[in-house]
Amino acid sequence: MPKIRELSEVLADQIAAGEVVERPASVVKELVENAIDAASTQIDIVIEEAGLKKIQVIDNGEGIAADDVELAFKRHSTSKITSREDLFKIKTLGFRGEALPSIASVADVYLETSTASAISGTFLHVKGGEQLEKKTSARPRGTEITVANLFYNTPARLKYLKSLQTELAAISDIVNRLALSHNDISISLSNNGHVLLQTVGNSDLQQTISAIYGVKNARQMVPFNGKDLDFKITGYISLPKLTRATKNYISLLLNGRYIKNFQLSNAIIKGYGSKLMVGRYPVAVVNITLDPLLVDVNVHPTKQQVRISKEDQLAQLLTKCIYDRIAQENLIPDALKNL
C-alpha cells in the first residue's frame, strides 16, 4: 500500500486556514477586503464577544451569482485573476481564493448574497467545510456573511487566543486601517451592540482620521505630498507636538492595501529629524501609489508583507517630503497659524 496520500479537501483547507485565519481579526480582515473588492460603498461589521461568538460583515457590493456561490468556497477559486500575467498587476485586495474555504473549514459560515440582475438571492450554510444547506433568499443586492463558532473544531487555535479585549483591539486596529485606506466607503464596526467606529465615506481623509483618532488629534495633523518618476505620495502626518509611544499609529497604504514595512516606517520617522523625543513616534497616514508592476504582493498569505522594487528610492522620497513639510510648518509664525 502506498504511504503517500492526497489530503482531503477539508483537511487541506484547514491547513491553509492555519496561515490565513490566525485569529478573529484575520476573519474580519478577509471578509471586509472581499466587500471592498466587490465595489461596496457601505460596509457594516457586527461583532459579538470579540468575534468568538459572531462576526458579520454586510455590504452593498456586487454580490455573488447563484451559480458561483459554491465555487466561492472552493480553494484557489477566485473571480479576481485569470492568468499568470494578472499576478503582476494586482489591483484587488484578494486574489488567492483562499479566505472563504479556509474560514468555512474552521467555523459555521452563513452566506446570503444577491447580484443586481438576479431575481432572487442565495443562502448557503457551510460548517467545517461541509455544505449543510442551500436555498434562495430574498436579500437585495449585496452580501452578508456571518461567521459563528470560530475554531470550534481546532481546539489548539482556540486556546492560543488572547483575552477578548486583546482580540477586540486587533479587530479594531485592522478595521481602522481598512477605513483609512478606503475613505470613499462608509464603514461601521460594533461589538456587542456598542459602536466602535463609523466613517462617513465621503473621501475626506482628515474626516476619517477624526473618526478614528479623534477630532483634536486630527487637527494637529497636516496634509503632505510628494512624488518622483515611480511613486506618488499623499497623506496626513502629525506635527511634532502630537506623538505616540509606539509606531502603531503609522499607517502605510500601498495602492489601497495596508502593509507593514519596517524600512518605510523608519523612513517616515527619519523625516522628523531631531524633532521627536527619543521613544516617541508620529501619527501618520501615508498613501503610496505606484505601478502594480513594482510590487509583489504574493509574498505571504495575509498579503501584509509585500516586496517593493526600488524600496530604497521610495524610503528616501518619504523622508524628504516629510522633512520638507515639517520644515515648512516651522516657517509659519505661530500667530498666523490659526487664521
Interface positions with ligand ADP (CB under 6 A)? 30, 34-35, 38, 59, 61-64, 72, 78-80, 94-100, 143
Task: Quickly list DSSP for 249-263.
Answer: GEEEEETTEEE--HH
Q: Does 99 bind Mg ion (CB under 5 A)?
A: yes
Least spacing, CB of residue 25 vs Mg ion, in Å: 15
**Contact partner at residue 80 from ligand ADP, Mg ion, none, CB < 5 to 8 Å by partner kind:** ligand ADP
In three-state secondary structure terms, 338 is: coil
Nearer to ligand ADP, 139 or 285 (CB): 139
Q: Which residue is nearest to Mg ion (CB)?
A: 94
Least spacing, CB of residue 233 vs ligand ADP, in Å: 27
Least spacing, CB of residue 58 vs ligand ADP, in Å: 9
Neighbours of 254 (CB within 10 A): 23
Nearer to Mg ion, 206 or 302 (CB): 302
What's CA 47's distance to the chain center, in Å?
16
The whole-angstrom separation of Cα 28 and Cα 55 is: 7
Q: Could you write out the three-class secondary structure of 218-230?
A: HHCEEEEEEECCC
Note whether 210 and 180 are within 8 A (CB). no
x/- map, 54-93, Mg ion, by CB under 5 A? ----------------------------------------
The whole-angstrom separation of Cα 143 and Cα 229 is: 40
Nearer to ligand ADP, 48 or 68 (CB): 68
Q: Which helix (H) or strand (E) holds 334?
A: helix 334-337
Give whole-number Cα distances, 62 to 43, 45, 48, 59, 238, in Å.
12, 17, 26, 9, 37
Chain residues 231-260 in contact with Mg ion, contact rule CB under 5 A: none
Q: Could you write out the three-class secondary structure of 162-175?
A: CCHHHHHHHHHHHH
Give whole-number Cα distances, 184 to 26, 60, 179, 203, in Å.
22, 14, 9, 4
Q: Does 191 bind Mg ion (CB under 5 A)?
A: no
CA atoms within 13 A on the CB side of 112: 14
Residues binding Mg ion: number (CB under 5 A): 3
Nearer to Mg ion, 70 or 228 (CB): 70
Q: Does 94 bind Mg ion (CB under 5 A)?
A: yes
Nearer to ligand ADP, 18 or 226 (CB): 18
Nearer to ligand ADP, 62 or 167 (CB): 62
Give whole-number Cα distances, 276 to 161, 213, 238, 326, 329, in Å.
35, 20, 11, 11, 15
**Contact partner at residue 78 from ligand ADP, Mg ion, none, CB < 5 to 8 Å by partner kind:** ligand ADP
Grid cell 497659524 in the structure block, residue: 337
**Contact partner at residue 63 from Mg ion, ligand ADP, none, CB < 5 to 8 Å by partner kind:** ligand ADP
Least spacing, CB of residue 117 vs Mg ion, in Å: 22
Q: Which residue is nearest to ligand ADP (CB)?
A: 94
Neighbours of 328 (CB within 10 A): 11
Nearer to ligand ADP, 29 or 286 (CB): 29
The whole-angstrom separation of Cα 17 and Cα 126 is: 15
Least spacing, CB of residue 126 vs Mg ion, in Å: 15
Instruction: Pick the binder of Mg ion from 14, 34, 60, 208 (CB under 5 A).
Output: 34
**Contact partner at residue 271 from Mg ion, ligand ADP, none, CB < 5 to 8 Å by partner kind:** none
**Contact partner at residue 95 from Mg ion, ligand ADP, none, CB < 5 to 8 Å by partner kind:** ligand ADP
Nearest to 44 by CA among 30, 26, 56: 56
Nearer to Mg ion, 29 or 127 (CB): 29
Interacting residue ranges for Mg ion, rule: CB under 5 A:
34, 94, 99
